[in-house]
Amino acid sequence: MASRLASRALRAPPTRPCFRRPQLLLQPLPLLPPQAGVFRAWLGSAAHGAPTAALLPSSLVRTGGFVGGRWLEAAGSFPVRDPASGTELSRVADCGAAEAQAAVRAAYEAGAAWSGVSAKERAALLHKWYDLMIKNKDDLARIITAENGKPLKEAQGEILYSASFLEWFAEEARRIYGDIIPSSSKDRRVLVLKQPVGVASIITPWNFPSAMITRKVGAALAAGCTVVVKPAEDTPLSALALAELANQAGIPAGVYNVVPCSRQQAAAVGEVLCTDPLVAKISFTGSTATGKMLLRHAAGTVKRVSMELGGHAPFIVFDSADVDRAVKGALMSKYRNSGQTCVCTNRFLVQKGIHDEFVEKFAQAIKSELRVGSGFEEGTTQGPLINEKAVEKVERHIHDAVSQGASVVVGGKRHSYGKNFFEPTLLSNVSTRMLCTQEETFGPLAPVIKFDTEEEALAIANSASVGLAGYFYSRDPAQIWRVTEQLEVGMVGVNEGIVSSVECPFGGIKQSGIGREGSKYGVLR
């Protein structure tokens, strides 16, 4: 990007190759026995009587690693649980360092052929993969709701968003242009070619188990790279379902590989994916702390990196704002996926002239429009948090705020539906000394800080060491331009509570990461 300011209205890249020749000797891994029949997961909360039976598609539920076009077993397995009830959904192959090395080698060996495939052919295969995702969108959404817990309607939206990246990058595959630069010598021409970088390690989080994969993998495959995906241990079934559809679409063996693993094996697998000399690029979405660790690993072999790390998004409501519109945007920005998104609002800053009106209307909207329950239940807008540790963090932030004088306007405690459920919560009388304004909560907690001036709001918003997304509401044109340019974040939503779209570059500044994903910039780095 030309400048940091340019990147905020847009957002910038992941992946591309150069092939090296170190030799690795690996033992062949056993083929996974064929899977057949019906895969049934019992979902729901024991506290609410009989559980809801959800039928997951046997055609898409896979439990092995996917390496070199084959389904493979590992020495052990680990459980995938429904966060709504704690019920075990499946046991998945617990891949380790050997399986990760095998996947890297498979991707490397497939790289030369894949990078030589024409852009038109790569585009056609990505389109086939997209078509299969759309054909199977309901089944893919049910897998997400089962392993992640988000409401089925949200999961369906994620699948459409996820598939759109394959469609977008299928189109971008044919638009990776070079350049001709005038030379100072009359008898010479300077040509610039964009070429794939090689094997890309793709490490993804649990909160968007499908979209975070396709946003990275779509760009990589469009550019002619091959990939090894390590999905989050909480949500590997979505990554494996995508592998099944990639295989059906005709993506060549070794181009898309998946190595699921447990939390215990994550460090060993991650180290291989970040240090193996056959890997040329790392694309990671997750916490800032983990991102720093992966950067240290990448430094040893000077790998290219794309890092989408933690956020601490401010949501500023100025006196000039349309309060009703701001409340609507606040609901979307804060409570989507029960507050478990990297770009969701973490701090609400509301100017004193409209503060009381905003808090009152926000509280009414929370009570009337949000409903806690199992993601499979009709009308649910708030599913469970991913695990009890996440619930405990929300509780800790609320307890700290209340102990320092904050007031609970709505919610404030665990929901009776189950141990991983928490009431959508709104706090007022919040100060910048409180934990909830200093740390990313990653849960359904909305703390509201009252401010006097625009300068004060910007100082609070920009005080964080991270800068992923930010939002503000104003009807003053001059103020809109000033604040847009002064907010220290990678993406700004102006009178808008959602900033993600396939056409826009996604990423942050400060300690929120390096590089951009999505948009035309997603294949250029």
Candidate list 308, 377, 423, 440, residue with the active-site label: 308
Output the six-digit token pair for 475. 């009807």
DSSP category for residue 228: E
d(CA 207, CA 308): 13
d(CA 248, CA 250): 5
Output the six-digit token pair for 218. 């779509």
Helices and strands per DSSP (H, E), number in the chain = 14, 23
DSSP category for residue 252: P
Beta-carbon contacts of residue 334 (< 8 Å; ≥ 6 apart): 315, 344, 345, 348, 444, 446
DSSP category for residue 250: T
Pairing type for strands 491-494 and 425-428 reads unpaired
Instruction: State whether the Cα torsion 336-464-446-323 is positive or negative.
Output: negative
Asked whether the beta carbons of 81 and 388 are under 8 A apart, the reply is no
Candidate list 274, 342, 344, 436, residue with the active-site label: 342
Mark whether 517 is an active-site residue. Answer: no
d(CA 515, CA 506): 8
Q: Which amino acid is at 120?
A: K
Mark whether 18 is an active-site residue. Answer: no
SS3 label, residue 144 = helix
Place of tokens 């320092």: 404
Burial of 21 (0-12, 13-18, 19+ CB in 10 A): exposed
Catalytic center residues: 308, 342
